[in-house]
Amino acid sequence: MIVHRTAFRPGWWIAAALLIAAAWWGQPLLSGASFEHGFFGLFWYTMLALATVLWAVPAEQGWDGHMLYRRWRLLGLATLREQRHAPGEFTRIVLEHEAGVFGWHRVWLVFEGEHRFVFGHWRASASNLAWADALAKQLATATGIPIAEPGAEAG
């Protein structure tokens, strides 16, 4: 079993702390008597509610020995929705490198075939590139799907 999840990593907890801090910071918007305070308070807390829902339902991707899957889990614990894909739907595994606009380059581990299945993405540091490469090789061995040569055109 191979699993890539974002829940319970440090960034996930930092995002929770930022959401709590933003909720605390927005309290004065609710205490004002003017229409503007109420409007901006409603807008602020609506955006925080949306961000909290997105935070509270992280996705995880994995290989269970037979199928690739993506699960959306409430607080990383209870499965709400799951998609499953047979390895026969994909023809190759690709490590895509994306240049960031602000200098943060990313690497994406993608299964390609009739459609694309993103297994994971990381900031493209040397250690993360090695991690992504090792995970791609582990998935190729487990699924029998070949890894595309670097620079191969999408097909």
- Confidence grade of residue 112 (pLDDT, cut at 50, 70, 90): very high
Q: Is 25 exposed, middle or buried (0-12, 13-18, 19+ CB in 10 A)?
A: exposed
- Confidence grade of residue 114 (pLDDT, cut at 50, 70, 90): confident
**pLDDT for 9:** 83
The pTM score is 0.74
With 80 as the cut, is the pLDDT of residue 154 above it?
Answer: no
Q: Tokens 């090695």 identify what position?
A: 130
Question: Could you report the per-residue pLDDT of 12-21, keeping only the tens digit for each?
Answer: 899 999 999 9
With 70 as the cut, is the pLDDT of residue 152 above it?
Answer: no
- Confidence grade of residue 84 (pLDDT, cut at 50, 70, 90): very high
Asked if residues 96 and 108 have their Cβ atoms less than 8 Å apart, the reply is: yes
Q: Which residue did the predictor score with more confidence, 121 or 30?
A: 121
